[in-house]
Amino acid sequence: MNRALAFVIFCTIGVTCAQADDEIVVTAERRIQGTDTLASNIATIDNNEITSLGADHVSEILNRAPGVLIHRGSGQEHLTAIRSPVLTGGAGAGSFLFLENGVPLRAAGFANVNGLFEAQTALLDRVEIVRGPGGAFYGANAIHGVVNVITPAPADNFQSAAVSASGFHNKVTAAVARQNRGQGIYAGFSAHEDTGFRADSGTDQQGAIVRFAGTTDGWAHDTIITATNLNQETAGFIAGPDAYRDRRLSQTNPNPEAYRDSTALRLQSQWTKALQGGEFRLTPYARWTEMEFLQHFLPSKAVEENGHWSAGFQSAFYADDHFSFGLDGEYTEGYLTEIQTLPTVFSFVQGVHYDYDITAGSLSAFFKVDRNLSEALTLTLAARADWTTYEYKNNTSDGPFGRFIRPADRNDDFLTFSPKISLLHQAGNGQYWLSYAEGARPPQTTDLYRLQGNQDVTGVDPEHIRSLEAGWRGDMSDTVGGEVTVYYAKKENFLFRDADGFNVIDGKTQHIGIEADLNIAINDKLSLNANGSYAAHTYRFDRPVNSTANASEAISNGDDIDTAPRTLAGARLIWRPSGKSFAQAEWVHVGDYFTDASNNHDYPGHDVFNLRLEKSAGFFTAFAAVRNVFDTRYATRADFAFGTERYFPDAGRTLTLGLRYRN
């Protein structure tokens, strides 16, 4: 039996699987609450776990949650799957909502498919993940899941620093926090140099966080400023059957000219005031981002530049624990240019492919009401309406330009509605829940205005998902606890471009799965944490492909969606012989998956093992990590395109050594 499937069956039948009992989280309903009040799943990766990981890439953190798969690209690039296949293009950018302390990292309609490299993963306090639609509280784009990265709060007086080095990664972090008479400040800085195990693939990234918190005239305030900068030399796919198994080929880079530069700055300030009968919260925010990269994956080798700035607010009134409502609004100005300097190649014409500006706005209203049907049973009703508008202005000539189509100036707007209804039953040391939720994704601006031959935006509707989830969370004993969930979802109006170059605006997909987390305290020194999921993500429509060269991309009803492994799992055996020593052995499993829509080509999956050690003395902690202990040859991403297999290879076994200080 497949090891990951056996693990899921073990969790489902033998023991319960989940997070710690009554953990405090903020993501599920936009405020601090205990997990025992939530009629939904949630996974939390806390500060201790993030610190011990010393992650070189965000995938090392998020892939510890069940039902989550982050495919690692070159440098800090990534693609995301949460209760879904690994999605690309507009779907990959807009189907997952990435938050920082509850505020989206990017404006609606301007998402980045690699959006999490703008999060401060080296400085985080914790990460919270809700799988499935989150639209009732967070609105558009929370189709398949929500990831909320939480920055450290100035809760204690401390100073800390860490340095680490491996064959390719060198990192430095430093932080200080001070608190006095209810006022506090936190400041943190990180720098990460990745020299690259592949030719011409180095990355430099810096990040900073400053957070102020305190009380003024009866208002509790919490202000956060974050900044990040990324300069990356990008490596492309290596091609050929099982190319990732070839050590020499894995170190090559067929695109040494490729690069990506990205800068982002964000500000938010949450103000909270206790009122008679409840609490009012207002969070104004602003953001700015710019990015430039070479499209090495296309014959044009065009340079794209894009960016936007936004100003907005979130507001909510919480009436005790039974009723809440709020209003959110946002204004955004953005731009995109794409210019090919190389001579014309096929239909990739030299010159300006796109040059446009967009003014966007959104206004949203939501509510939630709880009703106690009995002492142990609670009914929750919630809903959110989102209005999104785009004003598009083309700065070059209208119409076709080679394979590219530049629409004339136009305005578009979308209205979406995201309801949720749930039941939560308290039973002994745990909770059962049943919930129905919907979510919607208005088209990204690039879906609408960055068109190519055969594409048309007429009749494009927001993607829409309906999801039913049942789960249990709690403790089986003093030493065993966890969470298990099952879900069923159907998505309509799936928007993508097929292999013939035509826009598909009415695709349908189905998603069925079971997910589990497990925590076992084996004794006072040894513990086990594990996660597992089994899911079937399938097409629910037919789409023939006329091009013989792309025949493997024809879609048949019932086929697995490409890049959607049915099994994902991981386990960590942790040994703490004393408060000053720590050892962790980790297993990471990714099941086999198809790499084309017709299910004719596949990747066999992989199992990887990692080892981490720590030893503390006074204010100092020495640590070491061995990634890929058995030097397994595997691909962090596999794909089939242009008639051949393509891969991002893993670096192989690597050793990291480091030292942390905290006082």
Model pLDDT for residues 44-100, shown as the tens digit of each residue: 999 999 999 999 999 999 999 999 999 999 999 999 999 999 998 888 888 999 999
pLDDT at 1: 37
Question: Rounded to an integer, what is the distance from CA 192 to the centroid of its chain?
Answer: 20
Cβ–Cβ under 8 Å, residues 17 and 472:
no
Cβ-in-10-Å burial (0-12, 13-18, 19+) of 435 comes to buried
Residue 461's φ and ψ, nearest 5 degrees, are: -115, 160
Adjacency order of strands within the sheet including 404-406 = 399-401, 404-406, 451-452
pLDDT at 14: 31
Question: Rounded to an integer, what is the distance from CA 277 to the centroid of its chain?
Answer: 36
**What does the chain come to in residues?**
663
All residue ranges of the chain with pLDDT < 70 are: 1-22
Task: For strands 399-401 and 404-406, give the pairing.
Answer: antiparallel
**Residue 138: its H or E element:** helix 135-138
Cβ–Cβ under 8 Å, residues 445 and 390:
yes
pLDDT at 22: 55
221: left (phi over 0), alpha (psi -120 to 50) or beta: beta
Measured between alpha carbons, how far is residue 637 from residues 79, 93, 204, 319, 594 in Å?
9, 17, 22, 47, 12
CA distance 298 to 44: 38
| Helix, strand, coil share of the chain (percent; to 5) | 10, 60, 35
Cβ–Cβ under 8 Å, residues 398 and 408:
yes
56's CB contacts (< 8 A; 6+ apart) are 166, 169, 171, 192, 194, 656
Cβ-in-10-Å burial (0-12, 13-18, 19+) of 139 comes to buried
Long-range contacts at 608-612 (CB < 8 A, ≥ 24 apart): 608/632, 608/634, 608/650, 609/585, 610/585, 610/586, 611/583, 611/584, 611/585, 611/586, 612/52, 612/53, 612/54, 612/582, 612/583, 612/584, 612/586
Residue holding tokens 């598909």? 504
CA distance 504 to 496: 5
Question: Rounded to an integer, what is the distance from CA 317 to the centroid of its chain?
Answer: 28
Residue 263: strand pairing partners:
229, 290
Domains of the chain listed by start with CATH number? 3-197+211-662 (2.40.170.20)
Question: Rounded to an integer, what is the distance from CA 348 to the centroid of its chain?
Answer: 32
pLDDT at 12: 30
pLDDT at 16: 30
Residue 255: CA count within 13 A, CB half-sphere? 22
In the chain, what is the greatest distance between 2 CA atoms, to the nearest angstrom?
A: 73
For residue 635 the two structure tokens come to 């691909």
Residue holding tokens 């103000």? 271
pLDDT at 17: 34
Residue 16: CA count within 13 A, CB half-sphere? 21
Radius of gyration of the chain (CA): 24
Strands of 375-502, DSSP E: 377-394, 399-401, 404-406, 410-427, 430-441, 451-452, 463-475, 480-497
Cβ–Cβ under 8 Å, residues 582 and 614:
yes
Residue 553's φ and ψ, nearest 5 degrees, are: -100, 10
pLDDT at 3: 39
